[in-house]
Structure 1
Amino acid sequence: MATALNIKRKNIDLPVDTLQKLSIMAVAQGKSLKNFIETILIAKANTVAVEVSENPSPSGDPWFNDPEN
């Protein structure tokens, strides 16, 4: 569960028809639109494995592995 210390607020823009569809889906589940969207996004993010490389080169060039470069 998210706490006040690890939550980041972000405004997003969505097409009106998308918001209408999401609102209908939220009501069908007895949730607010905000809670419904948050639940979908959190569930999706939790299914994705994100790997962050310490090497900033998109091709993995070993030259960047040396901190002096």
Structure 2
Amino acid sequence: GLIIKPSTISQIQPVDSHNDHRIGMMLAVASLMTPEPIEIAQFESVNVSFPGFLPLLKQLENEG
């Protein structure tokens, strides 16, 4: 299994999805556990497989 614990890093560095939609989505979900927003480079690659991903993620975040 995978356990993601909230980050204690005080300054979040930008991360790169390497233009891979799967990595971009994983990073976006993992970023929900960080105290500050993170910048995901090449996140637009998510539109390849799930064009409505970001609005849905924001909706879920607001409901949670």
Give the TM-score of the pair, scaled to structure 1.
0.28
Higher Rg of the two aligned structures: 1
Q: Which has the higher contact order (CA 8 A, sep 6+)?
A: 2
Give the TM-score of the pair, scaled to structure 2.
0.29
Larger relative helix fraction = 1
Larger relative strand fraction = 2
